[in-house]
């Protein structure tokens, strides 16, 4: 059987049509603008890491690790070199360096491996001066009920693929060889669908593609080595399914400001219609001022970031792995999160239980982190 036909069969068997996740997202009945077939491999080398502005794959794992010796930056460089070598192969459907099961590498299904560094990775004297100024904990928010077990780590690896077997194989390739030099703190597994577990269409409003250079990618103006990288805010947000389901459908729509059937704003009829926050009916705002979109909507041009929500479902716990990418989280993300903490109707059913901030490395020419150590 040829490679292509075998891959088509495999993805077909997973319920995906053709090769693309765009088509899978279209399965929710939405006219997604990105519903083009996607090639099944993503580049590993390039100006930016794949897996950040890439149309979302259906499965993802975020791996949080601490360095056993933070003062040893050569050890960190060694880890990044090794991961780069493996990821360069695995993303192209080739076996990893010490792969005992190369068959599991043969269906990359848009595998991406993206690495970020937390504040603790900048402890060694050689790296201390290279930490971006925004790489610090978010302010404490009144809604937070943060659990240490989902907290900040020194390193994060975001692995994503349309095939959960490929993903599992890659996660193994990343974690197994670094066990003597790192401590695995958490793996957050999620899936992307186009809807979240509250049934809401999620991920509609995003920065325009032609604003990525300005809003997402770092230009190196503060830390030269970060040019082409970005920041990741990773929040784990529990969603209370029992109390949400107790609310009637209209109440659920008012809390968000959008309809459940196609995600249109309450002032419109299609998902991508612009919400009209000033519209009233009988003197009452059609989109309540306390609704999630009224509170979250940008109030200045800088208050924009790329949202990549993955669902997690570990019964009885469900929620979102909320990943937000932006050039500067302090300027772009924090004001929005503060408004949501102050008043957001959704807070009644959602609780942030994990929070971490990372510097996502620029893309690799030779290996990830080369500009940091260069």
By CB under 6 A, tell whether 297 contacts ligand HEM. yes
Cα–Cα distance measured from residue 172 to residue 165, given in angstroms and rounded to the nearest whole number: 11
Tokens linked to 173? 């390739």
Site residues for ligand HEM, 140-179, by CB under 6 A, read none
By CB under 6 A, tell whether 296 contacts ligand HEM. yes
By CB under 6 A, tell whether 202 contacts ligand HEM. yes
By CB under 6 A, tell whether 231 contacts ligand HEM. no
Residue nearer to ligand HEM on the CB measure, 81 or 297: 297
By CB under 6 A, tell whether 357 contacts ligand HEM. no
Burial class (CB in 10 A: 0-12, 13-18, 19+), 339: middle
* Least distance to ligand HEM, CB of residue 296, Å: 3
By CB under 6 A, tell whether 256 contacts ligand HEM. yes
Query: Are the C-beta atoms of residues 262 and 296 closer than 8 Å to each other?
Result: no
Phi-psi region of 46 (alpha: psi -120 to 50; beta: other; left: phi over 0): left
By CB under 6 A, tell whether 190 contacts ligand HEM. no
By CB under 6 A, tell whether 325 contacts ligand HEM. no
Residue nearer to ligand HEM on the CB measure, 168 or 247: 247
How many degrees, rounded to 5, is the angle at CA 10 between CA 6 and CA 12?
115
* Least distance to ligand HEM, CB of residue 190, Å: 12
Burial class (CB in 10 A: 0-12, 13-18, 19+), 145: exposed
Cα–Cα distance measured from residue 109 to residue 193, given in angstroms and rounded to the nearest whole number: 16
By CB under 6 A, tell whether 59 contacts ligand HEM. no
| CB atoms closer than 10 angstroms to residue 367 | 18
Binding-site member from 292, 327, 369, 371 for ligand HEM (CB under 6 A): 292
Pairing of strands 350-360, 112-117: antiparallel
Q: Which residues contact 87 (CB under 8 A, 6 or more apart)?
A: 44, 113, 170, 174, 368
Pairing of strands 230-239, 350-360: antiparallel
Cα–Cα distance measured from residue 371 to residue 98, given in angstroms and rounded to the nearest whole number: 26
Cα–Cα distance measured from residue 95 to residue 174, given in angstroms and rounded to the nearest whole number: 13
Helical (H) or strand (E) element with 156: strand 155-161
- Grouping H, G, I as helix, E, B as strand and the rest as coil, residue 13 is helix
Tokens 């009637």 appear where?
248
By CB under 6 A, tell whether 196 contacts ligand HEM. yes
First-last CA distance in the chain: 45
Binding-site member from 239, 266, 359, 364 for ligand HEM (CB under 6 A): 239
* Least distance to ligand HEM, CB of residue 196, Å: 5
By CB under 6 A, tell whether 322 contacts ligand HEM. yes
By CB under 6 A, tell whether 237 contacts ligand HEM. yes
* Least distance to ligand HEM, CB of residue 97, Å: 38
By CB under 6 A, tell whether 308 contacts ligand HEM. no
Q: x/- site string to ligand HEM, residues 97 to 136, per CB under 6 A?
A: ----------------------------------------
* Least distance to ligand HEM, CB of residue 91, Å: 28
By CB under 6 A, tell whether 244 contacts ligand HEM. no
Q: For binding to ligand HEM (CB under 6 A), which residues are involved?
A: 196, 198, 200-205, 235, 237, 239, 256, 258, 263, 275, 292-293, 296-298, 307, 320, 322, 336-337, 340, 346, 350
């Amino acid at each position: 059987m040829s490679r292509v036909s075998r891959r088509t069969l495999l993805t077909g068997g997973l319920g995906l049509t053709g090769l693309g996740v765009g088509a899978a997202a279209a399965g929710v009945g939405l006219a997604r603008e990105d519903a083009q077939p996607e090639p099944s491999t993503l580049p590993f080398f390039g100006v930016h890491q794949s897996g950040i502005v890439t149309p979302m794959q259906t499965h993802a794992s975020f791996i949080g690790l601490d360095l056993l010796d933070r003062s040893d930056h050569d050890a960190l460089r060694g880890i990044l070199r090794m991961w780069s070598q493996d990821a360069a192969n695995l993303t192209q459907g080739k076996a990893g360096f010490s792969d005992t099961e190369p068959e599991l590498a043969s269906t990359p299904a848009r595998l991406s491996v993206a690495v970020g560094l937390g504040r603790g990775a900048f402890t060694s004297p050689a790296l201390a001066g290279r930490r971006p100024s925004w790489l610090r904990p978010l302010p404490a928010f009144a809604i937070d009920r943060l659990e240490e077990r989902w907290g900040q780590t020194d390193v994060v690896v975001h692995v994503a693929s349309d095939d959960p077997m490929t993903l599992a194989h890659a996660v193994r390739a990343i974690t197994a060889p670094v066990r003597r030099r790192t401590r695995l703190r958490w793996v957050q597994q999620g899936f992307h669908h186009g809807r979240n577990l509250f049934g809401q269409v999620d991920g509609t409003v995003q920065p325009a593609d032609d604003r990525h250079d300005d809003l997402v990618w770092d230009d190196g103006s503060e830390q030269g080595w970060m040019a082409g990288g970005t920041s990741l805010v990773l929040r784990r947000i529990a969603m209370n399914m029992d109390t949400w389901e107790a609310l009637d459908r209209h109440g659920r729509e008012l809390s968000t400001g959008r309809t459940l059937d196609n995600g249109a704003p309450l002032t419109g009829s299609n998902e991508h219609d612009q919400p009209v926050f000033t519209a009233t009916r009988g003197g009452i705002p059609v989109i309540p001022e306390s609704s999630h979109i009224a509170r979250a909507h940008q109030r200045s041009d800088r208050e924009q970031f790329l949202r990549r929500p993955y669902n997690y479902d570990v019964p009885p716990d469900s929620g979102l792995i909320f990943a937000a990418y932006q050039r500067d989280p302090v300027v772009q993300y924090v004001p929005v999160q503060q408004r949501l903490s102050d008043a957001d109707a959704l807070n009644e059913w959602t609780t942030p239980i994990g929070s971490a901030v990372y510097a996502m490395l620029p893309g690799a020419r030779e290996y990830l982190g080369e500009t940091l150590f260069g």
